[in-house]
Structure 1
Amino acid sequence: LDDMAALGNLDPNHMPRATDYIAQMIDMISGLIDKGHAYAAEGHVLFSVSSYADYGRLSGRSVDDMIAGARVEIAPYKRDPMDFVLWKPSDADLPGWDSPWGRGRPGWHIECSAMSYDLLGPSFDIHGGGNDLMFPHHENEVAQSCCAHPDGDFARVWLHNEMLQVEGKKMSKSLGNFFTVRDLLDQGYAGEVIRFVFLSTHYGKPMDWTDAKAREAEKTLRKWRGLTDGATAGDVPADVIDTLADDLNTAGVITILHRLANAGDAAKLKAAASVLGLLSDDMGDWAAAVDLSAYADLLFAARQSAMETKDFAEVDRLKSLFQDAGLEVRMSKTGVELIPVGGFDMAKLDGVL
């Protein structure tokens, strides 16, 4: 939760634990049996896929295609290969709860349906999740929920996100490119920068995290914060709302923010950014102005001296040190400019002066 708060995310209203809802799961399973949508067999309870005519509608698959392509457990107690487990028996060394079908534990899908019904009712607006969960998990959620509560819609809108990539490759521990939000925060990336990078790609497309993107995001946010400093937010532009209404197109809104910044419209930029949770006062500590003039003067003096002695070792040392601290170094005949970029860490400049 601390990591999510650092990204500016709101706390959830509920954080249910499946083990607190075993009774509700048993009630839902019993109801499905009574309605003819489930059956008990050898200590198991299975959902009868053939009893739900709309099975496959969410994922767009036919049952025949699913049987041909899915890895399903063909067990002798199943009436149909596609039937899935609602309750399974537990050995003595495994977690288990008493039920009308013996000691056991719930299947993978029923817990989500039981908890959402208890907390949200038979119909709610948005269900999210990775696109790898669309089948079978979400498809099975729909089936058991709609059959248990035919008066409801279950989820009216589904948002299936694509996967995260790192430098163009799938994130995985085997490739050594696996990291968490906490890892990025510990590396010095501000939560607002991480948020910006993620919102820059539509949720339905693969997102490629790169250090270059993060550095560019930090540079952009510093520029926008400078532009909107002291500005009062105006009305949110209508095209921002229209763009978000088009399948939550956050990447499209980022494009609008760039346009407003280029036009110098600080009031609209601040208002539009607030819709994405950007440029808020409570997330801006990382971008607070830092006086780097003494460091710039130090490098400029070293450069002037090197021009006479032809020994640039000290210039190279300082330049490397500043870059390692997360500063972009711009040198000209008239002076030196130091610009904080990705992962700027003032502590790395301790002892330089």
Structure 2
Amino acid sequence: MPEVLLVTTANRFALDSKPGMSLLEIFRQNNIPIQGTLTLDENKAFVSLTHVLRPDDRLTAYAMRNVDFRCVQPTYTVVPTDNPVAEIVRPLKSPFHLGIVQFTRPSAMNYIYDSVSSALSRYAETREDRLPIQVALSPGGDGRVLVECIRRYWDENPDEQFHAIIVAVGFEDEQEHLSAGIALAEKYRIPYDALNTREAADILGYESDLESLSKSYRSTFPEDEAEIMLTYWVQNVNFELARRGGRRGILFGYNQEDVIAERLYQVMTGRLLPPLPIRRLDEHDVIAPLAQIPKKLLDAMDIDNSLRNYNIRSASVSYTRSSLYLLSYIVAEQFPSIADVMSGGFITPNAPNEILDWLKGK
């Protein structure tokens, strides 16, 4: 049988392999990053990823840096529950020990609510005004769960006030979108304003309606998602209405993958915004209380609503957006400790100074 060894600074790993497999298949099967190794045969000759294993092959993949490959080969432990409706990957004893944590709907909603409550409580401690917090309410999976949590938080904190803004965005039938959003607001007793696409365009000062703008956007940017423009549309409508109402705080239903993908995009552009879940801008405070909640958990809370939203989506045309979301999935799944930092704040930035101060002290 062939032998493929992964040699690191600390360990030697025998990778599962068999004749007829390509080296690329072996790396993919074992979750080994191909960019991180130099692979040679017994004579120290180059071996291509396309090489198909022969029974007598003896290959060695040398790790080019002293990274700990346990990061991509963690131990998994199932944390079961009766009648689960969802599960997510979470770190347990260490970043190398991950749990597949299962939830019932009540336990999932408690887990989500803890995140929402924590963000809103932090915001309440620091803000000066007591005006209503604006909620950018969408009938999607994120918004569906967010408004349920807001109602619970409001019941527990009656001095707080919330006001929802429901904006038609053109993904679906305009009236259906507004009706679904209004139904949520009324079910959870959140005061609201609902705007159709013409009313939203008037608020932003556009002569064209949203349908015309969407068609023009697709024509001008054929390799970009119209969803990007519509996200800005909803955001700017909410900013303008908050400005008119004198409100600073605006709640958005951004989930963990949204936040990580956005942060990666900011790194690409070199323009880093303040981190979430509470982002203080000049005029507004953007609050994302779901920033550390994977969408997988949110969508599992209302399957019928989630499937409805999946069915009205358009096919992807953007490599960049798809890649950023796929990267965010990989981070959240394989490196949840890193995902928590990227979506909920950052490591204290004075670590380099601490090292320099230590050196100077020597």
When normalised by structure 2's length, the TM-score is: 0.19
Structure with max Cα Rg: 1
**Which structure's relative contact order is higher, taking Cα pairs within 8 Å and 6+ residues apart?**
2
